[in-house]
Amino acid sequence: MGRTIPLEEEEKEEVEGTAAAADADRDELTMMMRDFLAATGGCAVVDGGLATELEAHGADLNDPLWSAKCLLTSPHLIRQVHLDYLHSGANIILTASYQATIQGFLSKGFSPHESENLLRKSVLIALEARDLFHQKHHPHHHPVFVAASIGSYGAYLADGSEYSGDYGQSVTLDTLKDFHRRRVQVLAQAGPDILAFETTPNKLEAQAYAEILEEGDVKIPAWFSFNSKDGVNVVSGDSLLDCAAIADACSKVVAVGINCTPPRFIHGLILSLKKVTKKPILIYPNSGERYDPDKKEWVASTGVTDDDFVSYVTVWRQAGAALIGGCCRTTPNTIRAITRSLNKQSFVLICREYHQLSSENK
How many whole angstroms from its chain centre is CA 120?
17
Cβ neighbors of 113 (< 8 A, separation 6 or more) are: none
Helix residue ranges, H only, 48-101: 51-56, 70-73, 75-87
**8-state DSSP, 77:** H
What b-and-e string marks burial along 237-272, b requiring 16 or more CB atoms within 10 Å of the CB?
Answer: ebebeebbbbbbebbbbbbbbbbbbbbebbbebbeb
Cα first-last separation, the chain: 73
Q: Is 351 annotated as a binding residue?
A: no
Rounded Cα distance, 357 and 328, in Å = 43
- Report the candidate in 169, 251, 221 with the shortest Cα–Cα distance to residue 36: 221
Q: Is 260 annotated as a binding residue?
A: yes
Q: How many CB atoms lie within 10 A of CB 5?
A: 10
- Report the candidate in 187, 230, 232, 181 with the shortest Cα–Cα distance to residue 205: 181
Q: Strand (E) positions, the chain?
A: 44-45, 92-94, 145-150, 194-200, 222-226, 253-259, 281-284, 290-292, 297-299, 321-324
Q: Is 70 annotated as a binding residue?
A: no
Q: How many CB atoms lie within 10 A of CB 79?
A: 18
How many whole angstroms from its chain centre is CA 185?
16
Q: How many CB atoms lie within 10 A of CB 347?
A: 10
Instruction: Report the DSSP beta bridge partners of residue 255.
Output: 223
Rounded Cα distance, 274 and 268, in Å = 10
Q: Return left, alpha or beta for 182; rule: phi > 0 is left, psi -120 to 50 is alpha, else beta.
A: alpha
- Known binding residues are 260, 327-328
Residues belonging to the binding site for Zn(2+) are 260, 327-328
